């Protein structure tokens, strides 16, 4: 998805749809512990999957669990490759790096995440995401930058989206901010 294919409002709508999907699907068999660009599909009319149809870009579909349905790990709790005393919220971190790529309009190799990340890799990903703050502000504005910052900084919060307080904070800090921008820009 490039800037020439999609405008600012379209990118905001995609970010909102993905964020809302995460809020609704988190901790289900349809969504595991993180999300990447490869996990988001766009549909054309009658169920045809496409990444090239600009008209379908406002209807992203998070398909991680569905594409991996035949693998035995879907729906099971994944602990990661290291033990920790505090929870690490890879879903919110992965959303942050995904939102960076959506608003900039291209895949960024340095922001590729894997489910088997140790603490050093997570900290490096956090810093890599923060290195795009200027581009995020220029391309997405203040609200979008705040959303991405919240996602990047929440990686070490106590509790994940299954916790009601964290889930409510996610709604306020991510979904509601994106909704506000979309409403302002689409009101006529």
At 45 the pLDDT is: 52
Helix, strand, coil fractions of the chain, as percent rounded to 5: 55, 5, 40
Residues 6+ apart with CB under 8 A from 55: 44
At 72 the pLDDT is: 39
Compute the average pLDDT of residues 150-175: 90
pLDDT digits (tens, 9 = 90+) for 113-147: 987 888 899 999 999 999 999 999 999 999 999 99
Q: Which domains does the chain have, with CATH numbers?
A: 8-186 (1.10.510)
CA 52 to chain centre: 20
Closest by CA position to 2, among listed 61, 68, 51: 51
CA–CA gap between residue 173 and residue 99 (Å, rounded)? 14
Question: What stretches of the chain show up as alpha helix (H) in DSSP?
Answer: 8-25, 64-67, 90-104, 119-130, 133-153, 164-170, 176-186
Q: Lowest-pLDDT range, 34-43, 53-62, 89-98, 142-151? A: 53-62
């Amino acid at each position: 998805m490039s800037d020439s294919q999609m405008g600012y409002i379209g990118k905001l709508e995609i970010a909102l749809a993905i964020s809302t999907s995460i809020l609704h699907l988190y901790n289900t068999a349809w969504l595991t512990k993180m999300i990447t660009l490869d996990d988001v599909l766009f549909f054309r009319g009658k169920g045809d999957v496409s990444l090239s149809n600009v008209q379908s870009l406002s209807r992203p579909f998070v398909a991680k669990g569905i594409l991996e349905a035949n693998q035995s790990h879907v729906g099971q709790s994944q602990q990661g490759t290291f033990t920790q005393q505090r929870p690490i919220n890879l879903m919110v971190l992965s959303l942050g790096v995904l939102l960076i790529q959506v608003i900039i309009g291209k895949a960024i190799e340095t922001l590729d995440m894997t489910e088997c990340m140790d603490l050093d890799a997570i900290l490096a990903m956090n810093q890599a995401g923060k290195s795009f703050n200027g581009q995020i502000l220029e391309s997405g504005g203040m609200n979008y930058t705040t959303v991405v910052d919240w996602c990047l900084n929440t990686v070490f919060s106590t509790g994940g989206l299954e916790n009601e307080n964290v889930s409510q904070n996610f709604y306020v800090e991510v979904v509601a901010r994106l909704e506000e921008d979309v409403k302002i820009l689409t009101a006529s």
